[in-house]
A and B are shown apart, each in its own frame.
Chain A
């Protein structure tokens, strides 16, 4: 570790940024993995360009990866980086406005020639113009030093240049006192059959580490001690991966095969990719010809007895609307995952937003109630995918699970669960000794109908999208029967409130202000509320994962506070739903619609304003 004293930090946010071919995602995940193994709490977020290969050296082609590590609990990937690694001028241009003054910027000086900064859109040389004067800048010839370090190894030029990300990673490893062994192991595995490339990468990594030590890249190297995490076995997990795993666990717990009907769409496709890998767990991933076939194939699979799911993002949910109505009408268990992105239309495919809530609640013809739930963090996607499956199978009704691009692509430590630790899932099915079973006969408590599946002799029956008699399921145009069925379908969803957890409040249990959020803003809101509490501003936080139906104690919680502010990444969707459901309360709202998550600072400022009566 050299002779320099090591300074302890509470937490640090690092952003690796470079050209999309520079391997920044890999660099970021390596730093994350190493820090996780050291016991830090972590949260990460990748920031890809929308284009697959945007022109090299341009701002459009910049790929970034932000990681937040701490010895205290971490709920977000961090508002703003403490350290920016800019592998070229475009990476600096794209990110400098995010870096607070006084923080550290590492730049690869080899990629800051005139043509580089011109291409990046700087009017003047950023190294001369003064834009960097308030920062601690480390100008390192990363590319040329990598070349020098790998000289004589017999590697081709391209492979040598591609190793420069390891040099940069080595530098940051020294700055934050991280060991190299995790990455060395990774490289050995990755390049098992390319010995020379493995050697080159390790050499670059060590060269970077030694270089940082030599130049004393920071006045002293820092470290972040392990966080105080609940005991258990952990791994780092991404939101979409956690969603896929939650479904795998639910299928196993329910004793069912999993059927996923899906059409690729950003940012939901990784769920399809992940489930496609595990077909031998009885998980059938069916890549359909379009979004509609994704959901209708799942409806067919649900009818035939599988745990059926379909995954998509906003535009896809719009296409699935009619079929989702069919699942409501026929009363089949189905989970629809919407990984929300900026809209409307194609909108901002790679950016996050919470603007599909109204679509999930109401985006169908007719009176068409579904259960709507949301995941609040990457690891929580596992729990909510599992819960959505449980509710669908036990209440025989479609469930929409809302996640978002921020949660789906972010990662955090997940305390590993095993199938035996999870709640039971008991699909609501007719038992063999049920007398005179009828397709739409219901459980008196939950109002769920009793499923039977093709293959069961003596239960042959027909269902469909036409209104049906409330018992036999035969087509019925009877006016009173229709009204009764509309009410039953709504009431069945409302009664789910008897089976879900109460709404919890963090921070103050009652008092001046309740901050309300839902889904993926949990991390930002929690961090903001913790800061407010620490600064002596008393405030409570209630975060919805169950939106339709609302938890039973919602009105009671709201009643304990003088003011309620609903914070959302949309133009006010939950707040208007609440105004309809619980009109006895006044709601303030705070909305951000920039395709970006809330910044903690924005939230604390808003909270301070409300408390000050502004």
Chain B
């Protein structure tokens, strides 16, 4: 088959012939559509795209993309995706995961993928519940929430994925709600562009087992005041008319209203996503009201693959052994005639 020019793709080229089997009304549909819409704009031929997943509702995702795909085992997708990328660094490797897959059974692989900074794009569908196993609490379920396996309410503290990612020395973290396709597409594009491990947490609604878990943020009447969408280089403003903003008071972020107590736009923090120091990024990731959406951190550094390539070139230059045969005949040898 001829190689297709990337610009000629439409989102339909990325839809496989498989029937999509998520529950009607699941947030995953909107995410799938957004990913399919972004792919033609990422500028990569579809044969060079690989979607890897673990286990869970979200992990069915690769079957629905007409690219290369690998539906693997629970929690292990970051390691598998790392192997794919290291075997062929020219591929665009995406990992689809959920809050159970990434943060419970796969927590170890998740933090180490982040630490290494292999160029992977990881989309974390966070619905704060186990869907596929029918309704047990997950590592992101709110403290005290009653679920099938916590009939008296959970007693374990939840993870905040952003805090975990940045704490694991993550270079790229973004958050977006499944109700905002435009922002999803913008953020996915940023994640694809970022060289290194990028994590996008998607606030995803599970209609069956955790319906309306994000309604306090995403319901039409709450959105403007309860979500702040930030952009690099711009002041952190929110509210229906951008009348509110974030300021730094001591060691805390605080939401303020312009014009009240002498606050002007000058006082509002300007977002620097590219800053190496992650202190403010951590505060943004942890803020609960308003919750921060958009690209919170996008610090650029060498990737694992780049460092590996450098090492290989260095060994090529310095090694006594130019071929495997050289190696085999190296050291002390003796001949029997």
The answer to whether B90 has its CB under 8 Å from any CB of chain A is yes
Chain A residues with CB below 8 A from B336, complex form: 39, 226, 229-232, 234
Chain B residues with CB below 8 A from A39, complex form: 334, 336
Specify the main secondary structure of chain B where it touches its partner.
mixed
The answer to whether B10 has its CB under 8 Å from any CB of chain A is no
CA distance A72 to B311 in the complex (A): 45
Q: Mark A288-306, 1 if CB is under 8 A from B, else 0.
A: 1110111011111111111
Contact of B328 among A33, A36, A305, A416 (CB under 8 A): A416
B103 to chain A, nearest CB (A): 15
- Asked if residues B63 and A475 are in contact (CB atoms below 8 Å), the reply is yes
12 contacts between A and B (CB under 8 A): A33-B332, A278-B321, A281-B324, A286-B86, A293-B78, A296-B76, A296-B79, A326-B72, A326-B73, A454-B84, A458-B1, A464-B72
The chain A residue with its CB closest to the CB of B51 is A462
Contact of B109 among A33, A182, A289 (CB under 8 A): A289
B7 to chain A, nearest CB (A): 16
- Asked if residues A37 and B332 are in contact (CB atoms below 8 Å), the reply is yes
The answer to whether A257 has its CB under 8 Å from any CB of chain B is yes
A488 to chain B, nearest CB (A): 20
Chain A residues with CB below 8 A from B319, complex form: 278, 280
The chain B residue with its CB closest to the CB of A415 is B336
The answer to whether A248 has its CB under 8 Å from any CB of chain B is yes
CA distance A416 to B3 in the complex (A): 45
- Asked if residues B1 and A457 are in contact (CB atoms below 8 Å), the reply is yes
The answer to whether A57 has its CB under 8 Å from any CB of chain B is no
The answer to whether B308 has its CB under 8 Å from any CB of chain A is yes
Contact of B72 among A235, A298, A465 (CB under 8 A): A465
Chain A residues with CB below 8 A from B332, complex form: 33, 36-37, 182, 235-236
- Asked if residues A234 and B334 are in contact (CB atoms below 8 Å), the reply is yes
* A-binding residues in B (CB < 8 A): 1-4, 16, 18, 45-52, 62-63, 65-73, 76-88, 90-91, 108-109, 112, 308, 311-312, 315-316, 319, 321, 323-325, 327-329, 331-337
The answer to whether A125 has its CB under 8 Å from any CB of chain B is no
CA distance A233 to B327 in the complex (A): 14
Query: What are the 10 closest A-B residue pairs judged by CB atoms, nearest first?
Result: A300-B83, A464-B71, A458-B1, A462-B69, A297-B83, A293-B79, A304-B87, A289-B112, A301-B87, A300-B80
A235-B332, A455-B90 in contact; A296/B312 too (CB < 8 A)? no
Contact of A304 among B16, B88, B316 (CB under 8 A): B88
Between A33, A182, A458, the greatest number of chain B beta carbons within 10 A of the residue's beta carbon is seen for: A458
B111 to chain A, nearest CB (A): 8
Chain B residues with CB below 8 A from A286, complex form: 82-83, 86
Contact of A252 among B62, B84, B108, B324 (CB under 8 A): B324
The chain B residue with its CB closest to the CB of A330 is B70
- Asked if residues A278 and B112 are in contact (CB atoms below 8 Å), the reply is no
- Asked if residues B88 and A453 are in contact (CB atoms below 8 Å), the reply is yes
- Asked if residues B86 and A37 are in contact (CB atoms below 8 Å), the reply is no
Between B67, B70, B71, the greatest number of chain A beta carbons within 10 A of the residue's beta carbon is seen for: B70
- Asked if residues B87 and A465 are in contact (CB atoms below 8 Å), the reply is no
- Asked if residues A457 and B72 are in contact (CB atoms below 8 Å), the reply is no
Contact of B87 among A232, A259, A280 (CB under 8 A): A259
A480 to chain B, nearest CB (A): 21
- Asked if residues A462 and B83 are in contact (CB atoms below 8 Å), the reply is no
Chain B residues with CB below 8 A from A609, complex form: none
Given contacts A281-B323, A462-B62, A462-B70, 6 further A-B contacts (CB under 8 A): A36-B334, A252-B324, A279-B312, A322-B73, A416-B333, A464-B71
- Asked if residues B67 and A460 are in contact (CB atoms below 8 Å), the reply is yes
The chain B residue with its CB closest to the CB of A452 is B68
The chain A residue with its CB closest to the CB of B52 is A300
CA distance A454 to B87 in the complex (A): 10
The answer to whether A117 has its CB under 8 Å from any CB of chain B is no
Chain B residues with CB below 8 A from A252, complex form: 324
A233-B335, A279-B308 in contact; A457/B2 too (CB < 8 A)? yes
The answer to whether A466 has its CB under 8 Å from any CB of chain B is yes
The chain A residue with its CB closest to the CB of B309 is A279
CA distance A590 to B172 in the complex (A): 60
A296-B80, A298-B83, A304-B83 in contact; A235/B331 too (CB < 8 A)? yes
- Asked if residues A278 and B70 are in contact (CB atoms below 8 Å), the reply is no
B3 to chain A, nearest CB (A): 5
- Asked if residues B86 and A284 are in contact (CB atoms below 8 Å), the reply is yes
Chain A residues with CB below 8 A from B333, complex form: 233-235, 416
A368 to chain B, nearest CB (A): 13
CA distance A294 to B82 in the complex (A): 10
The answer to whether A308 has its CB under 8 Å from any CB of chain B is yes
Chain A residues with CB below 8 A from B77, complex form: 296
- Asked if residues A464 and B87 are in contact (CB atoms below 8 Å), the reply is no
Q: Mark A502-513, 1 if CB is under 8 A from B, else 0.
A: 000000000000
- Asked if residues B87 and A419 are in contact (CB atoms below 8 Å), the reply is no
Chain A residues with CB below 8 A from B46, complex form: 460
Chain B residues with CB below 8 A from A330, complex form: 70
- Asked if residues B73 and A280 are in contact (CB atoms below 8 Å), the reply is no
Chain B residues with CB below 8 A from A257, complex form: 87
Q: Mark A217-259, 1 if CB is under 8 A from B, else 0.
A: 0000000001001111111100000000100110010000101
Q: Which residues 491-537 of A sit at the B interface, judged by CB distance below 8 A?
A: none
A386 to chain B, nearest CB (A): 11
A297-B79, A454-B68, A474-B18 in contact; A234/B335 too (CB < 8 A)? yes
CA distance A326 to B75 in the complex (A): 13
- Asked if residues B2 and A454 are in contact (CB atoms below 8 Å), the reply is no
- Asked if residues B312 and A454 are in contact (CB atoms below 8 Å), the reply is no
A524 to chain B, nearest CB (A): 25
A234-B335, A297-B79, A299-B80 in contact; A280/B315 too (CB < 8 A)? yes
Between A236, A293, A294, the greatest number of chain B beta carbons within 10 A of the residue's beta carbon is seen for: A293
The chain A residue with its CB closest to the CB of B45 is A457
A358 to chain B, nearest CB (A): 23
- Asked if residues A455 and B91 are in contact (CB atoms below 8 Å), the reply is yes
A279-B315, A304-B50, A462-B71 in contact; A418/B87 too (CB < 8 A)? no
B236 to chain A, nearest CB (A): 35
CA distance A280 to B313 in the complex (A): 7
CA distance A460 to B63 in the complex (A): 11
The answer to whether A456 has its CB under 8 Å from any CB of chain B is yes
The chain B residue with its CB closest to the CB of A304 is B87
Q: Which residues 254-296 of A sit at the B interface, judged by CB distance below 8 A?
A: 257, 259, 261, 278-281, 284, 286, 288-290, 292-294, 296
Between A39, A235, A323, A462, the greatest number of chain B beta carbons within 10 A of the residue's beta carbon is seen for: A462
Between A279, A302, A456, the greatest number of chain B beta carbons within 10 A of the residue's beta carbon is seen for: A279
- Asked if residues A323 and B76 are in contact (CB atoms below 8 Å), the reply is yes
- Asked if residues A259 and B83 are in contact (CB atoms below 8 Å), the reply is yes
- Asked if residues A418 and B76 are in contact (CB atoms below 8 Å), the reply is no
B310 to chain A, nearest CB (A): 11
B11 to chain A, nearest CB (A): 15
- Asked if residues B4 and A457 are in contact (CB atoms below 8 Å), the reply is yes
The answer to whether A459 has its CB under 8 Å from any CB of chain B is yes
A187 to chain B, nearest CB (A): 14
The chain A residue with its CB closest to the CB of B62 is A462
The chain B residue with its CB closest to the CB of A310 is B83
A63 to chain B, nearest CB (A): 23
Chain A residues with CB below 8 A from B76, complex form: 292-293, 296, 323
A458-B1, A458-B47 in contact; A297/B80 too (CB < 8 A)? yes
CA distance A474 to B16 in the complex (A): 11
Between B49, B77, B88, B316, the greatest number of chain A beta carbons within 10 A of the residue's beta carbon is seen for: B88
Chain A residues with CB below 8 A from B87, complex form: 257, 259, 284, 300-306, 308
Chain A residues with CB below 8 A from B335, complex form: 232-234
The chain B residue with its CB closest to the CB of A230 is B336
The answer to whether A461 has its CB under 8 Å from any CB of chain B is yes
- Asked if residues A279 and B311 are in contact (CB atoms below 8 Å), the reply is yes
- Asked if residues B329 and A290 are in contact (CB atoms below 8 Å), the reply is no
Contact of A454 among B50, B65, B108 (CB under 8 A): B50
Chain B residues with CB below 8 A from A290, complex form: 108
CA distance A455 to B68 in the complex (A): 9
Between B72, B79, B81, the greatest number of chain A beta carbons within 10 A of the residue's beta carbon is seen for: B79
Contact of B68 among A281, A284, A289, A462 (CB under 8 A): A462
